[in-house]
Each structure stands twice: as structure tokens, then as C-alpha cells.
Structure 1
């Protein structure tokens, strides 16, 4: 942890400098059997590539609004930290028609088409796979991101006191407020460095987003993100918690 961190991107940089090899986010899709584990270094590489895509290919600038129409997923976490790295406001589930650009999953493409700016689509297939046929009017994230640079530097400094995250209901948080609330949530949950939190909460509001990414990141912990774990019986849930060495649960 670093007391001077004031944005979510700062938290990731601290995690990368502290222990790049440790697991940061493990994602389960219990509908497909997919399991993806990302170390801090691997996750940070995805974030850097996505931030470069945002800044260089999509011409996003600090203060731009990105409607993020994605469910709780490891790639959603990547986009959230990429937005923070560039200074773009991540509007979780926001109105695409009022956004400067939009990032959509396969189930929200029609809503995303109302955005007059750049549009990016994610298949959310296992292993970050491409669409079999790219949606018309969208760039396929899985096609565009691999060629981006592995290191990111913003063209303009990111203001920690500027809007960073917009939530359903109209609440907007600055980068500094996101970090402050994440740290407070971590303390309330009893999270400490090395904690491993299993979250089944949806990312439709602050609680799910905090438990499923931000609070563990704020204290040097890690996440097991399993939004469809409700499909499992109690014995399977207990076994997963044991296999993943879970120390805390949410949802």
C-alpha cells in the first residue's frame, strides 16, 4: 500500500511495484466453466494496452465519458483501470447516447449503437476470444488490443480530483474519492495485505465493484470474481473457497 495513491491507476502501479507475480484477479464463469487467473503483471499489461488503445486509437482525452456496458468480468476490470489511467470517466451501465465513446458486451450492442462516438465491442468469450463476425459499426476489442504497446504514459496528467467513475443513480466519484471509499470498504471488511476475497456480487453498483476489484486492490489483496456462483450448490462453493484459499466472501 502507498498512502500517496490517489487514483485507481495509482493503486495498480503500487501493486505492480510491490509484487508483480502475485495473483490479482481470478475470474470464474460458471455457465461455461471458464477460469482465468491474472497476476498483477499480466493484469497491468492488459490495462496498459487498453489505455494505449483508448488514447491513441480512439482519441480519448481526460474528461471524456465512456459508457461501459459490460457485466462483472475480468475485462471490465481492465477497462475500468484503463479509463483511470487516461483520465476518462467510466460510466458503468451509462447512457451510450450521452457518452463520447462506448464499450459494449454482446448483449448490449443495440443500446451501444446510440453512441455517436467510437464504439468497441467485446465478445466476452473464453480467453478473450474474438467475435466470429465483428458487429457492424464496432471495433472488436480482441482484434485491436494485442498490437498496442505494453507500457502506457498519458499525454496529460490525470487529475485525481476530477470525475473518474459514474454509477447507476447518478453518483459520480473522483479518482481520489474512489480510492478513499475503497480503502474504507477494505477496512470495514477486515481486508489486509494478502487477503483473498471471493465475490459473487454483480457490478451494477458500488458494492459489487468495490468487493470485486477496488477494495482488495486498495490493500494489496486479490479477488476471486464469480458472478454466477449462485448456480453452484453449497458444497461446490465451499470447495471453491478452499481451492482458491479464500479468506473473505461477498455475496
Structure 2
């Protein structure tokens, strides 16, 4: 894995104690761009659909936690990178195929504005097939990584709390993970997509720590919902590692 700015100390705090770095709304008001249009074919909770729309807007802007260094427009290369970040951990061939399909919707546009980005990307095949639970887990894990490591607040406090409460209600294992477990899962999930966020030495040390703590995350144990046959983020990780 390539060297990364990730530091275990930054992520050692328990996940359940996380509070976003800021509640500021960056740039123009973060609304729900065309929400009814982009989510109309998905049987998702309205609040979660709104949160997903705001999440995609925040990914597009890429603001620092203090609201600075925001992108005004994204070019196609930036959109491709964002697509890989938000999709579940599948093979690089599957990723490339999906990215190519989504990018086709932008035709010959040199730059893609935020509204078109949200409208098109929200309908990607893997979000539709994976289902609401997996997408919520992807967003939740990305919010943790962004806040602790990249210093970017992807969701406001209220939206983050709603997302976490929704996952807890669903019985997801993610809200109960320790900071180290969440960090390990993020490293594994991103590496399966060819996005190495942690160097080999740090990864090995973290894995050793979790093994000594007898963490279920490093034992390739199915999470409770996966055992029931439901789609979960951990299930995607397990299937990608079995290939």
C-alpha cells in the first residue's frame, strides 16, 4: 500500500464519540439538488435520500473543515476519482465498467456542474443494487475518515446523527466499531478498489493490535446482518477478498 498521511492516533478515538469538526454550511446553501428526481426509483427513506444528496454535494466540493479550498467545478478526471471513492469495494474491472457507464452520461462536457453530478451519480448501478443499508454504511465510514484524517466535514452534525441513528436502528455493526476497527475496515475496503490509504507497515501494526484485542473485524467474521443474508459493506469486503 502507498504511504499515507493517516495516523493511528488521529483515529484512535472511539467511533461512537465522534463529532464533526464543524456545522458550517460551505459555499452556497447545501440543499437537496433535484432529490425527488434522482431518488424516485429507489425505495429509500426520504431523510436518508436527502442526506445522500448532501453527501454527494460535499464530496463534489471537497471543502476543508473550515470551509476553504472548495472546488467550484469538477473536470472528468476528478469525477472519475470521486466515483471510485463512493462505490462499494468491488473488483477494479467492475469499477472501471461502472465508471465508464456513468461518465458516458456527461458526453463531451469538459466540466460537470454539481447539480448534474448529483443527479447522474446518485443513480449508479452499484448504489441501486447494493441497497440503502450499504450506501449508508459507505457514507458513514467515509465521514469518519474525512473528519479524522482528511479534515473535511462531509455532513453537518444533525445529518451525521440521523445517519448513525438509522444504522443503529437497522442493526448495522459499524456504529459499534472502535476507532481502530473502523480505520482498518476503511483501509481494507479502499485497497480492494485500488485506493491504498495506508502503508504496509502501518497496516500490519494495526492488524496486529486488533488481533491481540480479538477483534472480529480482522477474523473475516460475518457481521450480524450479513449472517441473515442481507447486503452489508462488510459483506462486499468479504466477497471481494474471496475472489
Task: Report the TM-score, using the length of structure 1 for normalisation.
Answer: 0.29
Greater helix percent: which structure? 2
Greater strand percent: which structure? 1
Task: Report the TM-score, using the length of structure 2 for normalisation.
Answer: 0.30
